[in-house]
Structure 1
Amino acid sequence: MKNKNIKIVVTGDICINSLQWITDPQNNEGFNWQTHLNVHNILKPGESLLLSELVGLSTDACILAPKIQDMELNVSGEFLRSTAELSLFPKYGDGRHKEKVYRVKHFLGFTGPSSGVPKFLPIVNDDENAAMVIIDDENNGFNLNAEFWPSAIQSPEKSPIILYKTNNTSGSSKLWRHLETNHIENTIVVINSDDLRSKGVNISKSLSWEKTAQNFLWQINNSPNLAFLANCHHLIVPFGLEGAIYYRNDGVKESRLYFLPDEFEGGFVKENQGKMYGLTSCFVAGLAQSIVADNVNKASLSVSINDGIRQGIVAAHKYFIKGFGENLEESPFPHASIFIENENHFIYKEHVQDVKIPCSSSINCSSCWYILKDKSSANLAEIAYDIVKNGEGRVAKFIPIAQFGNLKTVDRMEIESYRSIKNLMWEYISSKNTVRPLSIAIFGTPGSGKSFGVTEIAASIAPKLIKKLDFNLSQFRSPSDLINAFHRVRDYSLQGRIPLVFFDEFDSSFEGKLGWLKYFLAPMQDGVFREGEATHPIGKAILVFAGGTASTFKEFWGKNIPDENQQKQFLLEFKNAKGPDFVSRLRGYVNILGVNQTNDAPDQLFIIRRAMLLRSFLQRKVPHLINDKGEAQIDNGVLRALLKVPRYKHESRSMEAILEMSMLTEAKKWEQSHLPSREQLKLHVDEEQFIRHMMHDSFYSERIENLAIAAHEKYISLYADNQEIDPCFVQPWQYLSEYLKDCSRDQAKHIPDALLKINYDVVSVKEKPPVKEFTDSELKILAAYEHTRWSLHRKEAGWKYGAVKDHKKKTEPALVSWDVLPEEKKMKLYQIVKIWPEILANANFAIEQLTFSRNCEALG
């Protein structure tokens, strides 16, 4: 009852929902009608009437809204009606629970009012002093009828917070023009992503959260269809039940993505769970709950929206799970529990993550942004180590992760590639009237996992329906071999199965370059193959063309040839081989990245791909090396070498081979002594580099003393004449106190950790490398890290902040955060970290970049 003094007006378009469902006969001996299927009908509030009930439950405030008393008796044909057929569906989509609830089976459509104009109702006890106004504008006439608008928005002196839920992307309505002119500063617009897409706004769906967010940002900044939304001070776009984007343009221009890490747009609701209307209304009610609870003003509105989006996502999930209940005539709808947090609930606000969407000048800058990088305070190497040692569970709490059967990935490019294939397969399998196969091309280096990834995707969709077949075209000697292959495909299709057919090395030579392509044109286009004079239909099938000579689609198409004349020659040969005709019949392609770093794009996450694969190998092949806590027992040197060796000669097969060649059957931990010999390693990696990475910790530990001495001598040369420096610091090494020596050793010991913060690694080399020069931004990160490390070291030694430095009292004026550290102290730290590359190079340590640059504009 704490919010009953807060008045909220909820109004807008009105619709009455007529719900129908069928139950089994009541008995076999009663009245005749009781022995037949029974058809039931009930009326429920829709649009603004439903929204007002949801807001009342969520806020516990005083709700001022249109009312219909006893809907079954008082609803006339003047109101707009919507009819839906309901049925019982599984409450949860995991397949483990047996509970069922009623949800929508079919939306049957609308019944228009007899007059042609929907009836609207006045707001009961309307109050111009209402603190909040919530409007449900479904573009059914309310936005044209000002006499029904709340007095709080019609009075120019009033400025309530307005939640404007709409499905209309046009800024031409009378209501929107009024809100834009008089209330834009405190109006929060909520429009569903599918409503944007239905109006021609091109935003990707179910590929990756990064791509969806970047598409939206490009559209809001460039599309004329969204010009009026771009002027909103607060715009929220829900993406299914799984995410939302908050676009803010109130003097601070910023966009944030909110998402569930283990879901993608549309992924929570399974096909066998039915549908629900009112999901966006429930989201708005959750948003209102947070705003009312915070009792915010305009200045803090964005802070409350942040929490409200999380609340809205959680409430919409619970609303869907509840459905209409187990018994439509007895179960309360909507249910109050959807706005009450309970310890048994499957989702909490804390599960919803958020991240700022970076601006990019290019809609296709697919490699510019990774949520993985933005959401983690650790560097990629630390994340990779943690994935191998502890599984992906910890990182999966705050970054997007995709799973297809036994395949898991956190790499954005892999997620997008695999989901695009899954979407194609799902649409194809679900379609009833297909007459031709679905054709997909897969490219990647040998051993990159082309077959595994696609097979797992197919198995995750329809494991009992799909049957895999493998053919290697490099082993075929004549077209008759291909005909025999298609006969096998057809046999499975006639059995009611969907063959998943891998044509490996389809781009191999036969009767010339790319000679097999012409034999696939008719099967791909018409779904038939010829044998002599006979023509045979293939039936429903998924044809997967796996490249053997080309590792990317660009290479297959010849787009990576830099020389113009050579490219023209290639394209001529490609055309003669029917390459363009083949490509035109493909419905999708994917480049599998594998465990090696690619060269044609900023491939930042190769080390994460390696970590995911290595963890998978350990779980499947040597599960005894993973203890009861889920921790992998592996030597740090072995782990470092496996993750950081520059290249695997045969991609994932090489990583798998190294594991299989190691003596691990009786091992309790994968030690360095278990690895195969240097000669065997040489088959799969550069053994010198592998061993150097493996022995890095030993090499570096041996040289810490020399590095500390070298750093101190450099320090003396820089500050020997500086009168402000404590004389005890600028003495020769042998005269330093043991405490000061330990300080220098500790700094040298942590240099590699500091460099990881800017994605650099320290690698032992045979010859002195060139001296690296840090950029200004890198220096700032390193200096801030070093100050934090130094402060912690001092505090652990008993020092505390003091206005004056005193060795006896152990007080230090520099024991403050980096942000308030005096500029002269910061400059001193810049000088200290600047000397690191030189002393490392003199000790035969190279500073190597872990990833390519993340500069979006360079790619744009």
Structure 2
Amino acid sequence: MSDETSPSPNPSVREIELNVGSRQAIIGEAKTISPAFANYVTRNHGFLAHVRDVRDQIETYINKRTARRPLNVLLAAPPGSGKSFLIKQIINSITDKNTAVQVSFEETYIASLESADELFKIFQRVQSLNLEGKIPVVFFDEIDARIADVANVYSKFLAPMWDGTFYVGKEKFFLGKCIFFFAGSGLSLEAESKEAVTRLAKKSKPVQYDLYFQLWKEKFDDRHSGAEFAKQKLPDFLDRIDSVLRIPPICEELLGEQTEAEYDDLACMLIKKHFPAVTLIEKEALDTIRRALKSESSMRTAEKIVFNSTSRIEEEDELFDMSCLPRRHQIIVPSERKEWWKVTIEKPS
């Protein structure tokens, strides 16, 4: 399937008989998951179109012979919503098509810096990677955090973002071609996001992503236009952003009848991420991962459950069932009642 084709609204499903070890005639269903690109799955087609626009912008930038400044992208979403994963899948979808492109993914937590001067070491790292023939993709997380010696770091990014330069003392340096991603908890405006969803859902459901994004962006611009933010140089920082990616919440208002299927896809992909050889997933085990995804504001809880799980081999199949989960998450299900998903991932071509 081409990565320019939207994922099928329904997985390919058919009933089959599975013989798992000594247990015969266990009824399962075949589920095929079609990532939108690389390993990224979403059933929100409006958001997917928005991501593809940004991905095309990134691909155009990468293919330039020279670039006088970075490409700057703001990621707006709460912690644990898969921001760094989305970045990596966007980049992977580009480099998989063009193997000559060498990319170095760098991740910096602003809150972990002891001094704003450490930013200049990161800029020097970007410059060095360019000299090695690699394109630096830098994710600056918690950009709105306070560093010990400064209230905010927005002003430190103004020249690098727009002029592609930085100073060490009085000496001027050029960054070269690079891509900057930024995210900050205070910049995601989750309350405003929820308000936008609720307001639009009163008119019609499911809510179109474009309408949701437009209303959220209006609230975002209004929220950051005051004198307090001007002192922080935040409007100047935001004026240098080339694109904004707002990761939408997973909710019925936006996804309608596809909501549960979205959780199924995410849970399957999470298991396949850590156990790529798994082909059979017990439905009850999958439901445990789904419940964790649904009940928590962050995907990290579900990620931890899968990370601390195991898989097992039975005959020629690698299985993921209740016995693979951490003990505190196991629910005892009689063998004769077990139902399985036979999961395959249809890679974009």
Whether the aligned pair in 2 keeps the contact of 1:493 and 1:540 (CA below 8 Å) is yes
The residue identity in structure 2 corresponding to 1:637 is E
The residue number in structure 2 matching 1:609 is: 262
SS for the counterpart of 1:264 is: coil
Matches within 5 A, 1:821-836: none
Aligned length: 288
Superposition deviation, residue 546 in structure 1: 2.4
The residue number in structure 2 matching 1:402 is: 36
- Which consecutive unaligned segments of at least 5 residues does structure 1 have? 1-260, 266-369, 379-387, 627-631, 682-689, 699-860
The residue number in structure 2 matching 1:416 is: 49
The residue identity in structure 1 corresponding to 2:281 is Q
Alpha-carbon deviations, 1:203-227, whole Å to 9, x = none?
Answer: xxxxxxxxxxxxxxxxxxxxxxxxx
Change (3 A) 1:625 1:527: closer
Identity across aligned pairs (percent)?
Answer: 25
Matches within 5 A, 1:62-81: none
Distance in 1 (CA, whole Å) between partners of 2:40 and 2:246 is 16
Match of 2:4 among 236, 244, 264: 264
Distance in 1 (CA, whole Å) between partners of 2:149 and 2:74 is 21
Q: Does 1:618 align with 2:271?
A: yes
Matches within 5 A, 1:46-65: none
Alpha-carbon deviations, 1:730-766, whole Å to 9, x = none?
Answer: xxxxxxxxxxxxxxxxxxxxxxxxxxxxxxxxxxxxx
The residue identity in structure 2 corresponding to 1:676 is P
Alpha-carbon deviations, 1:121-146, whole Å to 9, x = none?
Answer: xxxxxxxxxxxxxxxxxxxxxxxxxx
Whether the aligned pair in 2 keeps the contact of 1:517 and 1:578 (CA below 8 Å) is yes
The residue number in structure 1 matching 2:93 is: 460
Match of 2:32 among 370, 374, 391: 391
Alpha-carbon deviations, 1:616-671, whole Å to 9, x = none?
Answer: 23334334541xxxxx231x333334335573436332222212333534576444
Alpha-carbon deviations, 1:350-378, whole Å to 9, x = none?
Answer: xxxxxxxxxxxxxxxxxxxx9955x8999
What do you get for the CA RMSD once the two structures are aligned? 3.9
Change (3 A) 1:570 1:584: closer
The residue identity in structure 1 corresponding to 2:286 is L
Q: Does 1:442 align with 2:95?
A: no
Superposition deviation, residue 526 in structure 1: 0.6
Change (3 A) 1:549 1:677: farther
Q: Which structure has more RCO (C-alpha within 8 Å, separation ≥ 6)?
A: 2
TM-score by length of 2: 0.68
Change (3 A) 1:610 1:482: same
Whether the aligned pair in 2 keeps the contact of 1:507 and 1:548 (CA below 8 Å) is yes
Superposition deviation, residue 523 in structure 1: 0.6
Distance in 2 (CA, whole Å) between partners of 1:456 and 1:531 is 34
The residue number in structure 1 matching 2:188 is: 551
Q: Does 1:655 align with 2:302?
A: yes
The residue identity in structure 1 corresponding to 2:37 is Q
Whether the aligned pair in 2 keeps the contact of 1:552 and 1:591 (CA below 8 Å) is no
Distance in 2 (CA, whole Å) between partners of 1:497 and 1:645 is 38
The residue number in structure 2 matching 1:676 is: 326
The residue number in structure 1 matching 2:135 is: 498
Distance in 1 (CA, whole Å) between partners of 2:292 and 2:308 is 17
Change (3 A) 1:655 1:417: farther
SS for the counterpart of 2:136 is: strand
Superposition deviation, residue 471 in structure 1: 1.4
Superposition deviation, residue 416 in structure 1: 2.1
The residue number in structure 1 matching 2:58 is: 425
Distance in 1 (CA, whole Å) between partners of 2:190 and 2:72 is 14
- Which consecutive unaligned segments of at least 5 residues does structure 2 have? 14-28, 194-214, 338-349
Change (3 A) 1:488 1:638: same
Match of 2:161 among 495, 499, 524: 524
Distance in 2 (CA, whole Å) between partners of 1:569 and 1:262 is 39
Distance in 1 (CA, whole Å) between partners of 2:171 and 2:271 is 51
Whether the aligned pair in 2 keeps the contact of 1:554 and 1:560 (CA below 8 Å) is no
Change (3 A) 1:633 1:511: closer
Matches within 5 A, 1:395-794: 402-404=36-38, 406-462=39-95, 464-510=101-147, 515-551=152-188, 571-593=226-248, 597-598=250-251, 602-604=254-256, 605-626=258-279, 632-634=280-282, 636-644=283-291, 647-649=294-296, 651-665=298-312, 669-678=319-328, 681=329
Change (3 A) 1:560 1:575: farther
Distance in 1 (CA, whole Å) between partners of 2:192 and 2:165 is 29
Distance in 1 (CA, whole Å) between partners of 2:75 and 2:271 is 27
Alpha-carbon deviations, 1:7-50, whole Å to 9, x = none?
Answer: xxxxxxxxxxxxxxxxxxxxxxxxxxxxxxxxxxxxxxxxxxxx
SS for the counterpart of 1:508 is: coil
Whether the aligned pair in 2 keeps the contact of 1:391 and 1:615 (CA below 8 Å) is no
Alpha-carbon deviations, 1:37-71, whole Å to 9, x = none?
Answer: xxxxxxxxxxxxxxxxxxxxxxxxxxxxxxxxxxx
Distance in 2 (CA, whole Å) between partners of 1:569 and 1:489 is 29
Whether the aligned pair in 1 keeps the contact of 2:43 and 2:255 (CA below 8 Å) is no
Distance in 1 (CA, whole Å) between partners of 2:145 and 2:327 is 35
SS for the counterpart of 1:390 is: strand
Whether the aligned pair in 2 keeps the contact of 1:441 and 1:544 (CA below 8 Å) is yes
SS for the counterpart of 1:403 is: coil
Change (3 A) 1:431 1:642: same
TM-score by length of 1: 0.30
The residue identity in structure 1 corresponding to 2:298 is E
SS for the counterpart of 1:574 is: helix
Change (3 A) 1:671 1:516: same
Superposition deviation, residue 569 in structure 1: 9.0
Matches within 5 A, 1:238-277: 262=2, 264=4
- When Rg is computed on C-alpha atoms for both structures, the one with the higher figure is 1
SS for the counterpart of 1:402 is: coil
The residue identity in structure 1 corresponding to 2:133 is G
The residue identity in structure 2 corresponding to 1:458 is I
The residue identity in structure 1 corresponding to 2:4 is F
Whether the aligned pair in 1 keeps the contact of 2:12 and 2:30 (CA below 8 Å) is no
Superposition deviation, residue 500 in structure 1: 0.6
Superposition deviation, residue 560 in structure 1: 6.6
Distance in 1 (CA, whole Å) between partners of 2:275 and 2:320 is 10
Whether the aligned pair in 2 keeps the contact of 1:489 and 1:538 (CA below 8 Å) is yes
Distance in 2 (CA, whole Å) between partners of 1:561 and 1:539 is 30
SS for the counterpart of 2:61 is: helix
Superposition deviation, residue 585 in structure 1: 0.6
Whether the aligned pair in 2 keeps the contact of 1:553 and 1:591 (CA below 8 Å) is no
Distance in 2 (CA, whole Å) between partners of 1:547 and 1:526 is 23
The residue identity in structure 2 corresponding to 1:622 is F
Distance in 1 (CA, whole Å) between partners of 2:175 and 2:223 is 36
